Structure 1
Amino acid sequence: MWWFQQGLSVLPSALVIWTSAAFIFSYITAVTLHHIDPALPYISDTGTLAPEKCLFGAMLNIAAVLCIATIYVRYKQVHALSPEENVIIKLNKAGLVLGILSCLGLSVVANFQKTALFAAHVSGAVLTFGMGSLYMFVQTILSYQMQPKIHGKQVFWIRLLLVIWCGVSAFSMLTCSSILHSGNFGTDLEQKLHWNPEDKGYVLHMITTAAEWSMSFSFFGFFLTYIRDFQMIGLFLLGSLYVQKRWFPGQKKRW
């Protein structure tokens, strides 16, 4: 049996692969048609003009569904493994809400291009990255609370590093983006798809786009840490989840 056939590990794997494919295919299409510059465009720029915006929107909508499924399965797993821990129960519910809001934002980003409805697009981006970052933070706290009973310590440290990576990227993106759109570097920057090194604000633009891609990669890395956890989860024919209780060496069996 291949690793992705174990339990429901196919869910986080499919989520990361599909979302990456959405970015890559739309990027290749946009660059080929000379709609954007090859060097670090905004992720949204790769899905602004037709035909790539159609591909971008359709694939990200499917990614949002995969993300909701992954987040829900994670919620049910934590619920099953820690049924009597009040702190974990509250954090788990908060994580579910934050995750669903982030997925909703992803769908908004996919369907409202920044050159058409900038306010809606930015709102979707704030939901996606903002709520997504908080979701990662909550899940990292859960990993800390659940070690060493459920998680090994290495899982917590990996997720903590990914959250720090996400936080640094988010801070860089917000800071540079705020300066760039302060009005000192021109107006209607949201309509600008081509940048030259001689343009005012070019360096800030490049830092912002690099931080945006970096933040996305931190999300991918975080969901990939679910693969090992999801290998312990199965699905009954009628649709109910069951979670395999797992013990680490030296621990007493509590179930």
Structure 2
Amino acid sequence: MLTLLCLISGIATIYVRYKQVHALNPEESRIIKLNKAGLVLGLLSCFGLSVVANFQKTAFFVVHVCGAVLTFGMGSLYMFVQTILSYQMQPKIHGKQVFWIRLLVVIWCGVSAFSMLTCSSLLYSGNFGKDIVQKLHWNPEDRGYVLHMITTAAEWSMSFSFFGFFLTYIRDFQKISLRVEANLHGLTLYDTAPCPVNNERTRLLSRDL
């Protein structure tokens, strides 16, 4: 359930960010291309999260690893692209502080990713036993325990860096307002000739752009 909430929240955040950047830079071709690339990378990362959640490591190791690569790999690239966008939009759209904060979070994510990849590669190299993939409970005296702990800590660190990066959107999203509009073509759902009706507009967020 928690993974599903994170997945939905991630998709919504990535899409709203895409629409906001597009609205702020309607004629900047470089920013438009980067923005579209960021949207694709973000959605791929969310898809990877869905794969990780639905295919457990002990039962579908290869699929689980592929999902993790999509989640963390595409997610890291998404953060990098958004940081470049922040650099491109300063100081016209926002201040330099936002860019530097996002750059620090990206560096944090990069260090965590390097630690996780290095230690996990050593851990699953085969030098610590063939059944290590199925191992769920670790003791300090087990072979590879230190590498396992570093890998786990780095994985959690990357997750927190993703969460921290999304938190940098808070001030940006306070400057945007979304609405959902329902256009009715008739007063019933039968196949009849359309007649003029009032359309309904409902705010999704309360702050105006």
Aligned residue for 1:59? 2
For 1:133-144, list aligned pairs within 5 A. 133-144=76-87
**2-structure distance, mates of 1:188, 1:224:** 39
Q: 2:169 aligns with which of 212, 226, 233?
A: 226
For 1:130-169, list aligned pairs within 5 A. 130-169=73-112
Percent of pairs identical after alignment?
80
Aligned partners of 1:78 and 1:92 also within 8 Å: yes
Aligned residue for 1:103? 46
CA distances 1:61-117 after superposition (whole Å, capped 9, x unpaired): 232121111100000000000011111000000000000000001111111111111
Q: Higher relative contact order at CA 8 Å, sep ≥6: structure 1 or structure 2?
A: 1
Q: 2:116 aligns with which of 156, 166, 173?
A: 173
Aligned partners of 1:196 and 1:202 also within 8 Å: yes
Does residue 81 of the first structure (1) align with residue 24 of the second (2)? yes
More displaced stretch, 86-95 vs 196-205: 196-205
Equivalenced residue count is: 188
Q: Cα RMSD (Å) of the superposition?
A: 1.7
Question: Which consecutive residues of structure 2, in runs of 5 or more, have no partner in the other structure?
Answer: 182-201
SS at match of 1:233: coil
Aligned residue for 2:187? none
CA distance 1:92–1:241, change in 2 (3 Å):
farther
Shift of 1:59: 2.2
Aligned partners of 1:233 and 1:241 also within 8 Å: no
**1-structure distance, mates of 2:180, 2:39:** 24
Shift of 1:244: 4.9
